[in-house]
Amino acid sequence: MKLQHDCLIILKQQSISIREAARIIGKIVSSFPGVMYGPLHYRHLEHDKTKALENNSGNFEAAMVFSPAARKELEWWANNVLDSYKPISHGKPSVTITTNASKLGWGGAMCEGVSSGGNWTHNEAQHHINYLEMLAIFMGLQTFVKDRFKIHIRVMT
């Protein structure tokens, strides 16, 4: 309730000190363990605070104004913090897929006793191993999960 109250008070003000902005952001961040989507609703607040500190040579007593995007984040917190939750467990996964990748190809993709794999094209093999590991995961999803859950998978490069 205190976080909601603080957000509502700040929303009524035209400007606040950078210190006050840091205080409310600290309260918001400290609530992340109990607010499932909280981390999605603070980045503009943090950005505005950081920019204000840069513009005022690190003076926390200087005044600042939150951008419209940051004010929307404060509104989200004021409207949602009391009803927010974060489950301790999301339950057991319904499907487990294991994958592995090397510079030659991907393999070891295993799901419910069925395996899959393949070689990389010459262009694919030129990528960093971390990229190839992610691509192997993508291939495993395409192979084992796409039809089961009727989802469309697309990679943005």
Tokens matching residue 78: 């004021």
More confident residue, 154 or 44: 44
Average pLDDT over residues 36-45: 94
19 within a domain of the structure (yes/no): yes
Q: Could you tell me if 12 and 68 lie in one domain?
A: yes
Between 114 and 23, residue with greater pLDDT: 23
Q: Is residue 132 part of a domain?
A: yes
Q: Give the residue from 80, 112, 139 where a domain finishes.
A: 80
How many domains does the structure of the chain reveal? 2
Q: Is residue 64 part of a domain?
A: yes
Kindly report the average pLDDT of the chain as a whole number. 88
pTM for the whole structure:
0.61
The pLDDT value given to residue 66 = 97
Residue 156 has pLDDT above 60, yes or no: no
Give the domain range for residue 110. 98-149
**What's the pLDDT at 157?**
47
Q: Which pLDDT value is given to residue 78?
A: 96
Is the same domain home to 108 and 61? no
- Segment 40-57 shows an average pLDDT of 96
Decide: helix, strand or coil at residue 14. coil
Task: Please tell me the predicted confidence (pLDDT) of residue 146.
Answer: 64
Which is more confidently placed, 117 or 66?
Answer: 66
Q: Assess whether 56 and 108 both reside in one domain.
A: no
Contacts for 104-111: CB closer than 8 Å, 24+ residues apart: 106/132, 106/135, 106/136, 106/139, 106/140, 109/136, 109/139, 109/140, 109/143, 109/144, 111/140, 111/143, 111/144, 111/145
Q: Per residue in 79-131, pLDDT tens?
A: 999 998 888 877 887 777 788 889 998 876 667 777 788 899 999 999 999 99
Q: In the structure, how many helices (H) and strands (E) does the chain have?
A: 7, 5
| % of the chain residues with pLDDT over 70 | 90
User: Is residue 14 assigned to a domain?
Assistant: yes
**pLDDT exceeds cutoff 80 at 73:** yes
Phi, psi of 129, rounded to the nearest 5 degrees: -60, -35
Q: Taking the CB of residue 140, how many other CB atoms lie within 10 A of it?
A: 21
| Average of per-residue pLDDT across 131-146 | 83
Q: At 114, list the tokens.
A: 């069925």
User: Is 74 inside a domain boundary?
Assistant: yes
Q: What is the CB-side half-sphere exposure of residue 118 using CA atoms within 13 A?
A: 12
In this structure, the answer to whether residues 6 and 48 fall within a common structural domain is yes
In a domain, 89, yes or no: no
**Residue 138 or 1, more confident:** 1
